[in-house]
Structure 1
């Protein structure tokens, strides 16, 4: 199975988890959501409109907006994910789970939706709705996807209290917050990148060891110390959290006095690095 097919399959799995979260945990407890799904839920509670129909129609409009602002590949992947979410929204509720402790389905739904979004995002898609707006916010404003989505989702969730009641509106906020934070944690844990800057008197030895170990590009930057006016090359590279853990003992074995700075990277662009973190 090639990478393209794996990504399409991953989006289907993510759409399944998202659809199950809505259909089996949110709707039976009259809990809302944000973005298009939140509007679809309101339409279902107030007018009895099937959420899968609302999901397709409303997202089609947003995908038209995204078509002019985002990569065409993302738009296609988003359409693929939206179609499958609508399919899974039509699945019968075999679980038939209801409880008076409604914080439980709100939290479980948030976790399922966060994990589903993680799979869809990692495969290069979105679920349209607020995720298209979140993608735009991430790309053009530098916001984290989860945070950008949360802002747009709350714009729908808070007014929904007039339909589902104040308590269920608060549960909706809990679900959205859980989803956004879990999504950010997953992306941080599995896809986070670090920038590493190294100043050492043994530049050639350290660079060679890093290159042999990491098997990736490393940049040398000409620099001059202000106090001693001494020129030397700084080592700069982008790597994962796991690679950072291996870098420190490697550098220490060569130069115990090396100066190393590690920073979080919010976004990168390159052939082998994910664009959105």
Structure 2
């Protein structure tokens, strides 16, 4: 019972931080996070669709894969996906609340997102998407989950280069590096983690 309460708290707190990081610091400068979130942000920038809703749609194939590969991953990630998607869309009014320079926004947004992702991963939940893929790969190959997320996120930034231009690409890379470092530090310091 205590584990379920801790996991729920991690989903709630982590999702709220991710919603804050994306809306308060990334979206105002058209910056990307990586993975499914990054792809959802690209779709948001070009088609003005809700980022959280895009995350749900884009994560369906990975959730279905988890259902067949490891149902524990599915159940722990599905709740995280729904709650984080809700907070990302619900906190969208924050997009005009923090008029900071792009350098500060990219680092601060990356750190806040990294804390949010790290808290969720530390308690064996995630936002599904590429976090779910990273969980499976980390368990299979005994590689730090933050490193895997960093590599996937970097790939998304490269894909987004054409769409965003050099300035957004450069600062998005800085954001992604910050997310990867912070996430890795939080997950690595958890001695209870099953990922190592």
Q: Compute the TM-score of the two structures, normalised by the length of structure 1.
A: 0.66
The residue correspondences of 1:232-271 to structure 2 (distance < 5 A) are none
Residue matched to 1:93: 94
The residue correspondences of 1:100-249 to structure 2 (distance < 5 A) are 101-189=101-189, 191-192=190-191
Residue matched to 1:275: 194
Structure 1 unaligned runs (5+)?
193-272
**Does the Cα contact within 8 Å between 1:111 and 1:182 map onto a contact in 2?**
yes
DSSP 3-state at the match of 2:25: helix
How far has the Cα of 1:161 moved from its partner? 1.4
**Does the Cα contact within 8 Å between 2:55 and 2:85 map onto a contact in 1?**
yes
Structure 2 unaligned runs (5+)?
none
How far has the Cα of 1:95 moved from its partner? 6.3
Larger gyration radius, structure 1 or structure 2: 1
Give the structure with the higher percent strand. 1
How far has the Cα of 1:274 moved from its partner? 2.7
- Separation in 1 of the partners of 2:65 and 2:3? 28
**Does the Cα contact within 8 Å between 1:32 and 1:164 map onto a contact in 2?**
no
- Separation in 2 of the partners of 1:180 and 1:34? 10
Deviations 1:130-162 (A, max 9, x none): 112211221112211000111111111112011
**Does the Cα contact within 8 Å between 1:29 and 1:98 map onto a contact in 2?**
no
How far has the Cα of 1:110 moved from its partner? 1.0
Give the structure with the higher percent helix. 2
Deviations 1:94-148 (A, max 9, x none): 761123x211111111111111112111222121121122112211122110001
Q: Compute the TM-score of the two structures, normalised by the length of structure 2.
A: 0.92
**Does the Cα contact within 8 Å between 1:133 and 1:152 map onto a contact in 2?**
no
* Cα RMSD (Å): 1.7
- Separation in 1 of the partners of 2:48 and 2:122? 34
Over 3 Å counting, the alpha-carbon distance change for 1:42 and 1:121 in structure 2 is same
- Separation in 1 of the partners of 2:142 and 2:122? 18
Residue 5 (1) aligns with residue 5 (2): yes
**Does the Cα contact within 8 Å between 1:106 and 1:175 map onto a contact in 2?**
yes
